[in-house]
């Protein structure tokens, strides 16, 4: 059975982290639509029989009716492909959701929070979807496959082996338990980075998001495609995103001014289509002005500059000086101790004070 597996498109998300560049959030939302269009074209060209969408197809809070109509019209272009959707925590099947209020094309099946089995062309698809923004117990790990000699697929949205409390609220699943269920392919969603091919004939797959949503999703993004059978699954990752989110570090330890930082940034070999986050590291000798650096920077695809530097001032030694600087530092340290102020806050205040005394 030839298939495509997609998850976590988050259609119409706000892209608030990209708002520093005028018009970029809007462009990124258009690129979401473009990515979905490319998937549909791939399905047409390769005569894909099965399209699995494992959650967070859209962003419930922001999705527009026109975007849902766009999606549904694309689905109508592949009538010979069966589309299975499991709603996730960002697009749950709730009363006022577009899953509930839209008349979806006949080739679309949307799972709810009762584990359902659909038979399609000799294979069996088990699915479970969110009907709320949280899910702590789906009972997926208790599934008993009814026809183990046939091809069996599980599709759901959830967090795999998550230890933190926040992950336990999003359909927590254990890989060891899932492996014992006997599925030939398990299509997961929720994690935005691809998780596949880490062992021979791996059957538990996160395709990741088709396009990156931010700097916490570095690397390539796309979909999983291939063929499922009883002996061995043939899968491949297909890159869709024309942009990549890239982090670049700049060590400012030897610099004396913000102008030097700007000059160093401009020496980085940027690729026009990518989006960049600059991380400043090292020991600073001056007050770094991020706002000024962003204003004077000429590289248009730098989205963010983050200051991760440490102070290069020896506060302890300056506090021993018998001059204005020493008196100022001692009083600031006394205030920190008396008022139990944040150490980094006092450190920054001392830096600014010393700078003004030059």
- Provide block-wise average pLDDT over 10 residues at a time, the chain (358 residues): 97 90 92 97 98 98 97 98 98 97 97 96 96 93 95 96 70 93 96 78 90 92 94 91 93 93 93 93 89 87 91 83 88 87 82 77
Residues whose CB is less than 8 angstroms from the CB of residue 301 and which lie 6 or more positions away in sequence, other chains included: 21, 270, 272, 273, 274, 275, 276
CA–CA separation, 37 vs 11, rounded Å? 12
- How much is the pLDDT for 279? 97
What pTM, to 2 d.p., does this model score? 0.86
Beta strands in 70-215, from DSSP E residues, in sequence order: 82-85, 108-110, 116-120, 123-128, 151-157, 159-160, 172-173, 185-189, 204-205
- How much is the pLDDT for 199? 62
CA–CA separation, 55 vs 190, rounded Å? 7
Q: What secondary structure does DSSP assign to 87-112, as a single string?
A: --SSS---TTSHHHHS---TTEEE--
Of residues 64, 130, 139, the one with CA closest to residue 94: 130
- How much is the pLDDT for 47? 97
Q: Kindly report, as residue ranges, where domains of CATH 3.60.21.10 are found in the chain.
A: 2-239
- How much is the pLDDT for 358? 67
- How much is the pLDDT for 163? 55
State the virtual CA torsion across 6, 167, 219, 20 in degrees, nearest 10: 100
Can you count the helices (H) and strands (E) in the chain? 9, 18
3.60.21.10, 3.40.50.2300, 3.60.15.10, 3.40.50.460: which CATH number matches 2-239?
3.60.21.10
């Amino acid at each position: 059975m030839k298939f495509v597996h997609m998850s976590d498109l988050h259609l119409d998300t706000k892209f608030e982290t990209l708002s520093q560049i005028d018009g970029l959030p809007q462009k990124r939302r258009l690129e979401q639509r473009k990515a979905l269009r490319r998937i549909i074209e791939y399905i047409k060209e390769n005569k894909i029989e099965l399209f699995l969408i494992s959650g967070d197809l859209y962003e419930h809070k922001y999705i527009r009716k026109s975007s849902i109509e766009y999606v549904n019209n694309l689905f109508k272009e592949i009538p010979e492909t069966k589309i299975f959707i499991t709603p996730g925590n960002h697009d749950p099947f709730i009363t006022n959701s577009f899953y509930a209020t839209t008349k979806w094309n006949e080739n679309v099946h949307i799972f709810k929070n009762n584990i359902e089995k659909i038979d399609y062309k000799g294979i069996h698809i088990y699915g479970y979807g969110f009907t709320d923004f949280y899910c702590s117990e789906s009972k997926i790990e208790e599934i008993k496959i009814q026809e183990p000699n046939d091809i069996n697929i599980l599709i759901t949205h959830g967090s795999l082996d998550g230890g933190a409390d926040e992950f336990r609220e999003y359909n927590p699943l254990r890989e060891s338990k899932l492996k014992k269920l006997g599925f030939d392919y398990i299509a997961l969603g929720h994690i935005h980075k691809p998780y596949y091919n880490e062992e021979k004939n791996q059957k538990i797959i996160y395709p990741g998001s088709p396009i990156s949503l931010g700097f916490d999703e570095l690397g390539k993004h796309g979909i999983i495609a291939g063929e499922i059978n009883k002996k061995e699954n043939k899968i491949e990752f297909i890159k869709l995103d024309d942009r990549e989110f890239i982090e670049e570090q700049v060590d400012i330890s030897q610099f004396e001014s913000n102008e030097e930082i700007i000059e160093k940034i401009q020496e980085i070999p940027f690729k026009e289509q990518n989006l960049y986050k600059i991380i400043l590291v090292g020991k600073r000798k001056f007050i770094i002005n991020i706002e000024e650096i962003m204003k004077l920077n000429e590289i248009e695809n730098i989205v963010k500059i983050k200051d991760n530097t440490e102070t290069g001032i020896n506060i302890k030694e300056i506090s021993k000086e018998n001059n204005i600087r020493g008196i100022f530092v001692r009083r600031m340290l006394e205030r920190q101790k008396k008022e139990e102020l944040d150490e980094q806050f006092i450190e920054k205040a001392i830096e600014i004070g010393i700078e003004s005394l030059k």
